[in-house]
Amino acid sequence: LQADEKTIEGDPILVADTLGAGKGETVMITSDGIGAREMLGCNTSPVRWTVLGIRDR
């Protein structure tokens, strides 16, 4: 999942999505790297951004 928002430096944000958000859906993301590694089950993963939830319509 690539977020439309960008970092302060202008870099795009790449987000790990285990919830299955579809194209064009609005999601809530977090930059909690520890939570991301726990969610993925890999303590050495460089993943930082993950999806916390998908907005209901």
How many whole angstroms separate alpha carbon 37 and alpha carbon 16? Answer: 10
Q: What is the CATH number of the domain that holds 8?
A: 2.40.50.220
- The domain in which residue 37 lies consists of 2-54
- Give me the number of domains the chain comprises: 1
Query: pLDDT at position 54, please?
Result: 94
- Total-model pTM: 0.69
Q: Which amino acid is at 55?
A: R
Asked if 16 and 50 touch (Cβ cutoff 8 Å), the reply is: yes
pLDDT level of residue 15 (50, 70, 90 thresholds): confident
21-55 confidence digits (pLDDT tens): 998 888 998 988 888 888 888 889 888 888 999 99
